[in-house]
Structure 1
């Protein structure tokens, strides 16, 4: 089965920050989960390289736009491996193959009767590259996202008949109430639609850095149409020798709330105009806040993902962002918060659980996991967890799925303390010649210790399978130590793992990293 997931493509007028990493990690969690479920996954990310903001930065630096994007795009491409992103393709919208596909699709939209020439005058944000409606203008005639003054623009453009799709968009939202998640973002988009849609510019004639309009070479396509189409065009050439359009479209999109309008209103209307299916789902993340303000290149309050990963590792940063900030909501992030989560949850809760469980098997059973049934109470608490997590992920409940797994991490830690395997091990060593020796008690202690050790190792194994999308490197290390390195989602059920031998396991999350 084909499954396609995308990040927004990132604007290349500056270097990447932790906000870019956030959406990449979310999409990677989805991609890894679907691979575990046996799907043929196409995970797409990339860079948005056209438009006025890029041209302006290049002009201010005295270089060409192409030189600027060639300088910055590799920085975003390098972010993927550092984040342990498993994306299958990285698209650059300056790619000639993309540009040709954009021209082809938008020519089809024109031929279908949805494009006309007209005069535009209105307020424009040069940082958003967006013409603002009256409801989108902040106090002082500024952009509500960037806080910069809006510019009054007037030009002759080619227009897209967005207004003609009002009823079809309203019907889409009625027929598929979970098409946009979370619900608050769906309601926001639907309110915009119900407020009345106006036709929007398809082209610009006052800039030259963009994809040329093939029927009017004095114009380039408005950057948003060019950028949105990457989700479709990349399927044509993103896998060598294959066109994945038929098997992998429609896709699931992961976006930020600042680009909601384009992805949940403009984009489905354009696809309808081109006679293509709308996306499977649009998952909308909130803002990462630093000091109460959105992390933004233009505001300069960014955290460098490379610095955070160098100190704590990619798994820790991935975990922290999706644990600290519930996907879909705004949330504050800091290096102090990362350190706290690293120490309390990764090192103490999960890392210590894995270390204790394997160490006790090595100490009490010569590294061989007892081949007995798991504890029925623990098994009941794990029952159906894999299906629950998959459903949550498909519904965009990324952080809630992680919490569902972490409840079992805490449960197993309680299980260790309540069962006290070290006490059971002492009972096994009672001298059979000692006064009052009870062989039945010895038998019970042995059986109980076997049950506890088997349950702990099996529980840790299942947790590793479930947590792999969030913690890809450390879970592979753990599964290798358990000698059951199978990541298949079918193994996310307690009692299905082989009762073999365990190997040495170094600390998954060394505490000296947090102390540095």
Structure 2
């Protein structure tokens, strides 16, 4: 049986429609999941919406809506985004589902049975927008002396009865865990969490609220609902069947990778492993906190008028093109910037002009001049073997190794360098000239290029699944040969057959009003 691989994205908070940051994380998670499937792993990919908490209730009330009705509508926008962007998740979980409530209650009761929950009174600073508690020394001063959270969100003084989790008990465990290389990446996130853990005493965490009722009820504690982050994090367990601990849960837990934004690292690298340890459950193997996407170098804001709908970008530029741009342009883990002109420039240069043009030149030439197919019998020359080895190395070694360490942009850099090598080879070998002077050599050149195109299409398919599929269809590559194990340095590829090749990556045009980007 194939080795399991469990990946999750953050569970989106749907008090508004999806933005480009949600799309970026979903696309990255999907590319990683598809890559692992391509590698032969048995993948479970889970995402969903986190629909409880005071912020959600307030937003629904302001809109004059019932909270569950509003939550359902907003959750559906995230489902729609997943479908539009070709996100191949295996489960989409809502925290308002009954199974999830049962899972949250089971986790709570396991922590309680371990003696880690106690009832007390909470007095402190709370950010409704972050759904997070902050200590006095974590706050920053805003305009007019207003107290703000470290995320620059308003905080308010809160006093209420609350259940507390003995987070302080787990300080040494959490320091040791986060010092373990590979648990929290990249290094900058690990350093931030360790600074937090080592720089102060770890306070016990308030994990229930009584000032509102939109949440999972605390077992056997009327009037209390769970702190939204206890509820939200449990979704990673719900997605594989918890509280049932056999079947999928036994196969896939602990998660191989939690993929999250850098602003919620503390919840995942501090609170979550402490909850799991308390409940007697294994700790996730890895957490990766990616950076933010900036629009032309600026953080997106409704007040600045620079918030962009990712589905509009997909409609304008193409889903595969948007996916490629985001993963190629941004060094994964760091902040990155995008604009319409950057998308057009990158996709035209690399997808349309380089790879797309290579594919169309070769396949249309075969369709027109070789009756759509042939067998290459001429001997392999050094230039052929050199190119196939370069492409094989990029597609079967360099890109997979980079994707395994989540260096997505680096993997695509190796891939595009192999594309450039193919274009240099076709210009040097000139099969259009060989057609008249040496038809058998022409077939060997074309077969070499078809083998390269097959490998390049398979390797990039986690990022551009639709376009890659069309190219492989045009090359008549069977489904069981569309994986990393099928990539080979064999230049022949067997008999070549081409069927109805169409341009995979048409050139993009930039609207005149955006040329100043």
User: TM-score, normalising length from structure 2?
Assistant: 0.91
1:368–1:499 Cα contact (<8 Å) kept: yes
1:44–1:91 Cα contact (<8 Å) kept: yes
Tell me the residue number matched to 2:388.
379
Separation of aligned partners in 1, 2:247 and 2:405: 28
Tell me the residue number matched to 1:440.
none
Tell me the residue number matched to 1:27.
29
Unaligned stretches of 5+ in structure 1? 429-445
What is the correspondence of 1:161-240 to structure 2 with a 5 Å cutoff?
161-174=166-179, 176-196=180-200, 197-236=202-241
Judged with a 3 Å threshold, the aligned counterparts in structure 2 of structure 1 residues 406 and 142 are, in CA distance, closer, same or farther, namely same
2:474 pairs with 1:481: yes
**Greater CA drift, 185-194 or 299-308:** 299-308
What is the correspondence of 1:316-395 to structure 2 with a 5 Å cutoff?
316-371=321-376, 373=380, 375-385=384-394, 386-395=396-405
Separation of aligned partners in 2, 1:135 and 1:506: 61
Separation of aligned partners in 2, 1:117 and 1:407: 60
Choose the corresponding residue for 1:471, options 453, 464, 468. 464
What is the deviation of 1:108? 0.7
Tell me the residue number matched to 1:422.
432
Tell me the residue number matched to 1:131.
133
**Greater CA drift, 125-134 or 96-105:** 125-134
2:208–2:227 Cα contact (<8 Å) kept: yes
Tell me the residue number matched to 2:66.
64
Judged with a 3 Å threshold, the aligned counterparts in structure 2 of structure 1 residues 407 and 367 are, in CA distance, closer, same or farther, namely same
Choose the corresponding residue for 1:493, options 477, 488, 499. 488
What is the deviation of 1:120? 2.2
What is the deviation of 1:469? 0.2
Secondary structure of 1:424's aligned partner: helix
Tell me the residue number matched to 1:504.
500
**Greater CA drift, 360-369 or 311-320:** 360-369
2:461–2:469 Cα contact (<8 Å) kept: yes
Separation of aligned partners in 2, 1:165 and 1:297: 40
1:14–1:297 Cα contact (<8 Å) kept: no
What is the deviation of 1:256? 0.5
Judged with a 3 Å threshold, the aligned counterparts in structure 2 of structure 1 residues 498 and 380 are, in CA distance, closer, same or farther, namely same
Secondary structure of 1:236's aligned partner: coil
Tell me the residue number matched to 1:305.
310
Judged with a 3 Å threshold, the aligned counterparts in structure 2 of structure 1 residues 38 and 135 are, in CA distance, closer, same or farther, namely farther
What is the deviation of 1:297? 6.6
Tell me the residue number matched to 2:38.
36
**Greater CA drift, 123-132 or 461-470:** 123-132
1:360–1:453 Cα contact (<8 Å) kept: no
Separation of aligned partners in 1, 2:108 and 2:401: 36
What is the deviation of 1:299? 7.1
Judged with a 3 Å threshold, the aligned counterparts in structure 2 of structure 1 residues 295 and 57 are, in CA distance, closer, same or farther, namely same
Separation of aligned partners in 2, 1:340 and 1:19: 21
Separation of aligned partners in 1, 2:75 and 2:108: 25
Secondary structure of 2:239's aligned partner: helix
What is the deviation of 1:286? 0.4
User: TM-score, normalising length from structure 1?
Assistant: 0.91
Separation of aligned partners in 1, 2:36 and 2:346: 27
What is the deviation of 1:289? 0.6
Separation of aligned partners in 2, 1:32 and 1:296: 32
What is the deviation of 1:43? 0.8
Choose the corresponding residue for 1:262, options 252, 258, 267. 267
Tell me the residue number matched to 2:96.
94
**Greater CA drift, 415-424 or 213-222:** 415-424
What is the deviation of 1:292? 3.0
For residues 16-71 of structure 1, the C-alpha deviation after alignment (integer angstroms, 9 at most, x for no partner) is 11111111111111111121222221111110100011011112122221121012
**Greater CA drift, 161-170 or 80-89:** 161-170
Tell me the residue number matched to 2:254.
250
Secondary structure of 1:244's aligned partner: helix
Choose the corresponding residue for 1:18, options 17, 20, 23. 20
1:93–1:230 Cα contact (<8 Å) kept: yes
Tell me the residue number matched to 1:438.
none
What is the deviation of 1:383? 4.0
For residues 425-454 of structure 1, the C-alpha deviation after alignment (integer angstroms, 9 at most, x for no partner) is 3423xxxxxxxxxxxxxxxxx454333212
**Greater CA drift, 53-62 or 290-299:** 290-299
Aligned length: 496
What is the deviation of 1:191? 1.7
Separation of aligned partners in 2, 1:21 and 1:133: 32
What is the deviation of 1:276? 0.9
Choose the corresponding residue for 2:277, options 247, 272, 275. 272
1:484–1:498 Cα contact (<8 Å) kept: no
Separation of aligned partners in 2, 1:46 and 1:300: 28
Separation of aligned partners in 2, 1:133 and 1:379: 59
What is the deviation of 1:380? 2.7
For residues 210-239 of structure 1, the C-alpha deviation after alignment (integer angstroms, 9 at most, x for no partner) is 001012121111001100010012211799
Root-mean-square deviation (CA), in Å?
2.3
Secondary structure of 2:43's aligned partner: strand
Unaligned stretches of 5+ in structure 2? 513-517
Judged with a 3 Å threshold, the aligned counterparts in structure 2 of structure 1 residues 159 and 242 are, in CA distance, closer, same or farther, namely closer
What is the deviation of 1:300? 5.9
Tell me the residue number matched to 1:404.
414
Tell me the residue number matched to 2:118.
116
